[in-house]
Chains A and B, each alone.
Chain A
Amino acid sequence: ETGVTQTPRHLVMGMTNKKSLKCEQHLGHNAMYWYKQSAKKPLELMFVYSLEERVENNSVPSRFSPECPNSSHLFLHLHTLQPEDSALYLCASSQDSLVSDTQYFGPGTRLTVL
């Protein structure tokens, strides 16, 4: 596969469940991002990893927990979410987070919290 892939594409979970979103980039990039996309709102940056180190954490509730085991993979662990967390979660990557600006996005995971 090429580009940025995300699994699952759709996820329905209850507020007491624990689930994880997975992102993989096949571009040889060093930086990876999680965004939340809600209807009629700008993309909200959640986390940034550069060379597997978290460099940005945008006041995201602790019920969202990122993990970056290597520069190709990024996870978002979810637990005790709220209905307002329902959204499209997008992963992106770039060559690095400071110098090269262009981000490449995956298709997203559509999350519904019941």
Chain B
Amino acid sequence: GENVEQHPSTLSVQEGDSAVIKCTYSDSASNYFPWYKQELGKGPQLIIDIRSNVGEKKDQRIAVTLNKTAKHFSLHITETQPEDSAVYFCAAKKGGGFKTIFGAGTRLFVKA
């Protein structure tokens, strides 16, 4: 069935370093790839997304890259700050369907 693999499950970085989270999806018909950040006691919040007609998208310290051939996409956070500490989820969705498939999440710790 459809699935999204996300790695690593836990990531610890020093403040100011970069963090990279990688995801692989199985359904080649997927064309929308959102990333969510979930802080303690809150629901997931969209931080960036990318569609399959684009290879890279950047928003300040956050960037996402997509390799459709390999069915990989990645989240890059530069100059990490303690407030970046949270659980990050990748997801994949195909057009015309109702279901968004989520990865299992990456817990990011940014040490001050």
Contact = CB atoms under 8 A, between A and B. Distances in A.
Contacts, number: 56
Contacts of B101: 42
A40 B104 contact: yes
Interface string A3-39: 0101000000000000000000000000100000000
Given A42-B103, A42-B104, A56 B98 contact: yes
A75 interface: no
A108 B45 CA distance: 12
Contact of B34 (A45, A48, A90, A102): A102
A108 B34 CA distance: 19
Contacts of A4: 43
Contact of A43 (B9, B41, B42, B89): B89
Interface residues of A, number: 24
A102 B46 contact: yes
A42 B6 CA distance: 10
A60 interface: no
Interface in B44-102: 44-46, 49, 89, 93, 95-102
Interface centre among B46, B97, B99, B100 (most CB of A within 10 A): B100
B13 interface: no
28 contacts: A4-B43, A6-B43, A31-B98, A40-B9, A40-B105, A41-B104, A42-B4, A42-B89, A42-B102, A42-B103, A43-B44, A43-B102, A45-B99, A45-B100, A48-B98, A55-B98, A97-B98, A98-B97, A98-B98, A101-B32, A101-B95, A101-B100, A102-B49, A104-B46, A105-B36, A107-B42, A107-B43, A108-B42
Closest 3 CB pairs of A and B: A105-B43, A43-B102, A101-B32
Interface of B: 4, 9, 32, 34, 36, 41-46, 49, 89, 93, 95-105
Given A43-B44, A101-B34, 16 more contacts: A4-B43, A42-B101, A42-B105, A43-B89, A43-B102, A45-B99, A56-B98, A56-B99, A90-B44, A98-B95, A98-B97, A101-B49, A101-B95, A102-B46, A103-B46, A106-B43
